[in-house]
Amino acid sequence: MRKKDENLYNVHISKGTERTEKTLSMRENKEMLYVLPDNAQEIGYRSEQQDYFSYSDLMDFDEIAELGCVAVLGDGMGGMENGRNASITGVKTFLDVYSDNMHNGVALQDSMLDALYAANDAVLNDSGSGSTLIGAVVKKNKLNWISVGDSHLYLYRNGLLRQLNKDHIYAELLDDMCAAGEISREEALNNPERGALTSYLGVPEIELIDMNEQPVPLRMGDIVVLCTDGLYRALTNEEISKILSSDTEEKAQALVDAAMLKQYEGQDNTTVVLLKII
């Protein structure tokens, strides 16, 4: 496992259609926790699908006991060549390294960090492009995550949708500069680079990483949501929450369909990955 060098990064604490529907279970003490994965994606108005996602083996109960239930999502950077290869490489490398580390007894958060570094190296060396990445792990009734870029991780609970991870975009710096009185609010909001990524896979050294300080306890009825910006740029939090609270079993597809119906100008690839606690 690569040693963590505190001088190299800042850990912030706080995109064809592919579907998988499997039911799995893990037993913790005498209480059974069921995790039902659900996912959907659409290409939008883009010429290529550059989102990619994958799960760990959700039907191997020995793997679940050791690794947890893992979902990983990447969004290849559309302004760069080989964005699709970047997201595929990043997601697959993350899953492989995380799995190897956990099998070798490495602590969960260290396994996620090492997997992220390995994914970054692989994207940098193999694709010449960039990708966002979110890795989410449900283990022992708790959620851990790690992310770079602007794909979102939400927890939906009792009608409320809460973003758990931090966006790595230039807007964060602009807003800080505004708060410090260095620029006006108008300058901050109108800067053309406001949405530019400040952290992603495919750089020599990742400087910004977001991950949880403490695992988030999960409850019956919770839904963990991973999505690319094609979803949250098309739908409001209220619209996403309304669909998640609906009776439909295919919530991921319903979310993607709703985003496509908006006919959002320049609609990006849209991917939704859910881990539903039932």
Which residue ranges make up each domain of the chain? 10-168+199-277
The CATH class of 10-168+199-277 is alpha beta
- Provide the 8-state DSSP code for 263: T
Tokens 């609270």 locate to 245
Mean pLDDT, the chain, rounded, equals 87
CB-based contacts of 254: which residues, under 8 Å, 6+ apart?
Answer: 243, 246, 248
The mean per-residue pLDDT over the stretch 109-135 comes to 94
pLDDT exceeds 60 at position 13: no
Write down the pLDDT at residue 16.
35
Provide the angle, in degrees to the nearest 10, between the axes of the packed helices 83-103 and 108-126.
150
- In the chain, the percentage of residues whose pLDDT exceeds 90 is 69
State pLDDT tens for residues 68-98: 999 999 999 866 668 899 999 999 999 999 9
Give whichever of 25-39, 44-58, 181-195 has the largest mean pLDDT. Answer: 44-58
State pLDDT tens for residues 221-264: 999 999 999 999 999 999 999 999 999 999 999 999 999 999 88
